[in-house]
Structure 1
Amino acid sequence: MDWQGGAIFRPVRTGNAFEETVERILEAVKLGVFGYGDRLPAERDLAVRLNVSRDTLREAIRSLQAAGCVESRRGRYGGSFVTYRPPVPDLADLRRAVQDMGSELEDALTYRMVLESGASELAARRRLSAEQRAYLTRRHEELEDAGPEEYRRLDSRFHLAIAELTSSPSLAVGIAASRMRLNDLLNAIPILERNIEHASHQHRAMVEAILSGDALAARRATAEHLEATAALLRGFLG
């Protein structure tokens, strides 16, 4: 089993199935669960995961195709493929957005700290299967090997993987929503070599603590990492 997108591709439970289906797929793309050129889950599987009819899913895919976010290909290796590319952030616009957020920014950072440090602690306390351990290791290795153009997307995917390993759908959904709230701002932080070195050390400490079952170390390493990211965000956009 692959948990990819588990925090986002959860059953639709509102009466606005079409709108929510579009929103879920866009979240998965914007949060980096699926990057440019990636194939979305098969229509049959995605409809089951979202608990929507295949007609509703097809309508949502057509709308996203018209918006230039995905394209559908036919044939043996066909399917729906991501064509969305995140816009190049404009720091002036983002600084204005930060000013408009006011105290909401600190609230969002605090909320993220509580949720993600708690998720790391919980993941470390769980008896992870070999498949789950391999999943986390794979996400970490992808991030370690990422170039500057892919780093932010794979960083997001790494953090969401930890959320998914908690086996708490509510917590995973909360973390996905928290990241969406900050996503544009986080993507605007310049890729600094020194910062990447620090983040790499922190990510490694998080993974080692989770896989060794050291819950307090997992919480501590995650909190250290998130506070460093928050400091950069305040510095560049404050």
Structure 2
Amino acid sequence: MDQAAESDLRMDWQGGAIFRPVRTGNAFEETVERLLEAIKLGVFAYGDRLPAERELAARLNISRETLREAIRSLQQAGCVESRRGRYGGTFVTYRLPPPDLGELRRVVADMGLELEDALTYRMVLETGASEQAARRDLTEDQRAYLARRLSDLEDATPEQYRQLDSRFHLAIAELTGSHSLAAGVAECRMRLNDLLNAIPMLERNIDHASEQHRAMVEAILTGDVAAARRSTEEHLAATAALLRGFLG
């Protein structure tokens, strides 16, 4: 699959979870939120070009002026930059900040029971997403896209890993064909995002996670619903255990 085709698929699938129509009266604020969500979750990572203004405004159901105002605000915050010319557009410049375990432990203390609520919600949503993706008759492009997300994650540098991990999990949710489910997975990931990013990069854990990711993909691509649920559940339980251990 060429890069242009993959970009279109990313907009159709992962973009569908985040770039859904803005429904509140606070169009500017919600647009900023959606764009930041897409950037922080790695749907569009450092160096990626955001979709064309006309297409993005139509997806969000907002005016192009509102979109421009939101992009200008993100540019002032150092999250994106606009380039002119034939190969111009709006490009992501955001990088994940280094983790601050002390601050994040305070955040966890403030969250109280909300942390366990978020972990339970994630378990239910993502195991269900893997099951549903395994049930579907995926197209060749969809199968290739999921395999590419796994390959990118396995080849990620430590700086890229967390965002590409988010992109991998969101890709599975989008392959269910349910925008509501995919949006729920994205929302839950945002609730836990700063905490997940704070987990130290442990080589043994990354190796273990890679085995689990491969098992998830194999089960989905072979239509093994039970294995898809089991491998996803094992993976999420391991991540939750590390999260509790380092931030508890």
Q: Which residue matches 2:3?
A: none
Report the counterpart of residue 108 of structure 1 in structure 2.
118
Name 1:54's counterpart in structure 2.
64
Partner Cα separation in structure 2 for residue 71 and residue 160 of structure 1: 25
For structure 2, the residue ranges without an aligned partner over 5 or more in a row are: 1-7
Partner amino acid, structure 2, of 1:60: A
Query: Map of 1:17-56 to 2, 5 A cutoff?
Result: 17-56=27-66
Distance in structure 2 (CA, Å) of the matches to 1:36 and 1:127 = 32
Q: What CA distance in whole angstroms lies between the structure 1 residues aligned with 2:96 and 2:207? A: 24
The alpha-carbon deviation at position 106 of structure 1 amounts to 0.8
Q: Secondary structure at the match of 2:24?
A: coil
Deviation at 1:171, TM superposition (A): 0.6
What's the counterpart of residue 67 of structure 1? 77
User: 2: distance between equivalents of 1:102 and 1:96?
Assistant: 10
**Greater displacement, 147-156 / 178-187:** 147-156
Percent of pairs with identical residues = 81
One-letter amino acid matched to 1:80? T
Q: Distance in 2 between matches of 1:155 and 1:68?
A: 23
How far the C-alpha of 1:180 sits from its partner, in A, is 0.3
Among 195, 200, 222, which residue is 2:205 paired with? 195
Shift of 1:26: 0.4
Matches within 5 A, 1:222-233: 222-233=232-243
- What is the TM-score of this pair, normalised by structure 2? 0.94
Q: Out of 124-133 and 201-210, give the one that drifted further.
A: 124-133
Inter-partner Cα distance in structure 1 for 2:139 and 2:57: 27
Report the 3-state secondary structure (helix = DSSP H, G, I; strand = E; otherwise coil) of the residue aligned with 1:80.
Answer: strand
* Structure-1 residue corresponding to 2:214: 204
Q: Which residue in 2 is equivalent to 1:178?
A: 188
Structure 2 CA distance for aligned equivalents of residues 10 and 224 of structure 1: 31
Give the superposition deviation at 1:137: 0.9
Deviation of 1:99 (Å):
1.1
Deviation readout 1:63-94 (Å, 9 max, x if unpaired): 11111111111000100011112221110111
Deviation, structure 1 residue 59? 1.2
CA distance, structure 2, for counterparts of residue 33 and residue 14 of structure 1? 23
Q: Which residue of 2 aligns with 1:148?
A: 158
Please state how far the C-alpha of 1:6 moved relative to its aligned partner.
2.2
Report the alpha carbon displacement of residue 4 of structure 1 after superposing the two structures with TM.
Answer: 3.6
Runs of 4 or more above 3 Å deviation: none
Structure 2 match to 1:12: 22
Pairwise mapping of residues 62-101 of structure 1 onto structure 2 (< 5 A)? 62-101=72-111
Confirm whether residue 132 of structure 1 aligns to residue 136 of structure 2: no
Number of positions where the alignment pairs a residue of Structure 1 with one of Structure 2: 238
